Amino acid sequence: MNTSRLGALTAAVLLTDAAAHLYWLTGRTWPAHDVRSLSLAVLNAEVPFTPRVLVPLAVVLTTGAVAVLACSRGRGGLPARLITGAVAAGTLVRAAAGLVWILGIGADTATPFFWLNLVLYTPLCVGMAAAAGLIAIRRPARAARPPRTPRPAAPLSQAPGRPGRP
């Protein structure tokens, strides 16, 4: 299994989410027309999009992306594996909540959030939970090294530190 590709894809999704949070930090609300609509479409609740909320989320998402990418390549050691496991657990919890909302519990089927959750948020979280989980539990491979080419043995007369023999 090529976990480096899974890691790159998972990290890309996390970094895209972090970039969206940083974009919203500027005060812009795309793809919604105002903060209230954005909050309801993304979170199904009215939450302020302030630096106090957005900056920590962007930092956590970026940290998760770096850890998943490192772990998928057999680097980062135990910290990367633990953070990757946390990404798997967090996205699994979000996927489970998404399934509840898909069943119509706590989400109105007429809202943009319901449809975004159905076709985007929950499927992404299911895939990311599976990918991060596989990466976190996989036995870390050693970093690939180029093969060593053996050097030919020097003749005794040319061995370092030995005078030449006739």
pLDDT in tens, 99-146: 999 999 999 999 999 999 999 999 999 999 999 999 999 976 555 556
What is the pTM assigned to this prediction? 0.82
Domain membership of residue 145 (yes or no) is no
The closest of 44, 52, 14 to 118, measured between CA atoms, is 44
The owner of tokens 């996205």 is: 91
**pLDDT tens string 93-111:** 999 999 999 999 999 999 9
Domain membership of residue 38 (yes or no) is yes
Domain that holds residue 34: 3-139
Domain membership of residue 36 (yes or no) is yes
Domain membership of residue 162 (yes or no) is no
Domain membership of residue 146 (yes or no) is no
Question: Considering its fold, how many domains does the chain have in total?
Answer: 1
Domain membership of residue 18 (yes or no) is yes
Task: Classify residue 98 as exposed, middle or buried by CB count within 10 Å of its CB (0-12, 13-18, 19+).
Answer: buried
Instruction: Give helix 51-72 / helix 3-25 axis angle, nearest 10°.
Output: 170
153 falls in which pLDDT band (50, 70, 90)? Answer: low
Domain membership of residue 48 (yes or no) is yes
The closest of 8, 6, 20, 33 to 121, measured between CA atoms, is 20
Does the pLDDT at position 78 exceed 60? yes
Percent of the residues in the chain that have a pLDDT greater than 70, as a whole number: 86
Look at residue 162 in the predicted model and tell me its pLDDT.
59
8 A C-beta contact, residue 61 and residue 12: no
Give the CA distances from residue 17 to residues 14, 24, 34, 57, 96, in Å, rounded to whole numbers and listed in that order.
5, 11, 19, 9, 19
Domain membership of residue 34 (yes or no) is yes
Give the CA distances from residue 7 to residues 2, 21, 158, in Å, rounded to whole numbers and listed in that order.
9, 21, 51
